Amino acid sequence: MPRPNKKRHPVKLVREAIGLSQKEFAAVVGHSKDTIQAIEIGRHNPSLALAEKIFVQTGAIPKTLRKVDTIPLDIEGEPYTRDSYQRWTTTINSRSARLAGRERGAIKYLNWLVATLQYAALRAGKLFAVQYQLDRHVAELVREFGLKRNIAGLLRDRPHTRFGWLQMFDWRPGEPSRLMRRYVVRGEKGLSFGQQEIFGFSRAHRDRRAAISARTKLQSGTERPCGLAGRQTTTTLNVKLRSKRSPRHRVRRKRHTRCPRHL
């Protein structure tokens, strides 16, 4: 019979210091109870993504959460305790006036960072791919932290914003356009959404576009012997207007409008 492992996982030490059950801790970090239980009994170590999720909720350093034989540390480099959790939550979740300027600065920095990323993607010709990935990750964050109701409340509180929470990209498999990209338009009544068709047309729309293209080619399909388009058209009109002249004159007229050999 194998001996029980006396070493306790650092994730378990953090959970016990906070005073939460496995189910409650799993809800806080956004994972299932089975995942937390498998980590605590040593079945597998947490990924870097999970360790970072635990960090943003508890303040425990991610590097100290991934191995069984390590002691979890707080942001000051001390062993993680209940006091570490209280200091972390007080600093991060405080809504006092003293931190208002700092929070506004963090929001401005994130706005600048996202805008810089998109301009860099535009310069590299990858704006669509970057926007799609950003939209997908933002939607994942909204679902993970339950922010949809809060976002809808903020949009209602703004006097010139009359649309709800919608993702930038929307798939519509059964409609003429299968992928739509939304963008914000400022009008007389405030902000509203515009839509851009990215990919896919209905069969009727494709047939209509093909017919227009074929009609355009048919109208401009006259073969010209040279690049002097204006001169060629003028000569043809003159020949038609002077149709009462002799055939010899028409032949001589056409002969004079031929393209030079050096062209």
Residues 21-74 have pLDDT tens digits of 999 999 888 888 999 999 998 888 888 889 988 998 898 999 999 888 889 998
Per-residue pLDDT for 256 more than 70? no
Amino acid identity at 184:
V
pLDDT attached to residue 118: 92
Partnered with residue 79 across adjacent β-strands are 73
| 87-123: burial string, b at 16+ Cβ within 10 Å, e else | ebeeeeeeeeeeeeeeeeeeeeeeeeeeeeeeeebee
Q: What is the pLDDT of residues 170-204, one digit of tens each?
A: 776 665 556 778 887 777 777 777 777 776 565 66
- Of 3-12, 30-39, 165-174, the range with the highest mean pLDDT is 30-39
Contact 205, 176 (CB under 8 A): yes
CB atoms within 10 A of CB 86: 12
Q: Write down the pLDDT at residue 206.
A: 72
Q: List strands edge to edge, sheet with 179-187.
A: 169-171, 179-187, 190-199
Residue that wins the pLDDT comparison between 248 and 79: 79
What tens digit of pLDDT does each residue of 211-237 get?
888 888 888 765 444 444 444 444 444
One-letter identity of residue 251: V
- Whole-number pLDDT of residue 98: 57
For residue 110, CA distances in Å to 47, 91, 106, 117 come to 25, 19, 6, 10
Per-residue pLDDT, 222: 54
Q: Hey, what amino acid is at 21?
A: S
Look up the pTM and report it: 0.54
Residue 241 has pLDDT above 50, yes or no: no
Q: What is the pLDDT of residue 184?
A: 78
Confidence of residue 7 (pLDDT cuts 50, 70, 90): confident
pLDDT higher at 173 or 155: 155
Higher pLDDT, 126 or 252: 126
Q: Residue 69 has what pLDDT?
A: 82
How far is the C-alpha of 259 from the C-alpha of 221, rounded, in Å? 19
**How long a stretch of residues is the chain?**
263
Among 121-125, 156-160, 213-217, 239-243, name the most confident range.
121-125
Other CB atoms within 10 Å distance of the CB of residue 74: 21
State pLDDT tens for residues 78-121: 999 999 999 888 877 665 545 567 778 888 888 999 999 999 99
pLDDT of residue 175: 59
Please provide the average confidence, as pLDDT, over all residues in the chain.
Answer: 76
Beta strands in 188-234 (DSSP E): 190-199
CA nearest to 169, candidates 139, 202, 124: 139
Residue 253 pLDDT > 80: no
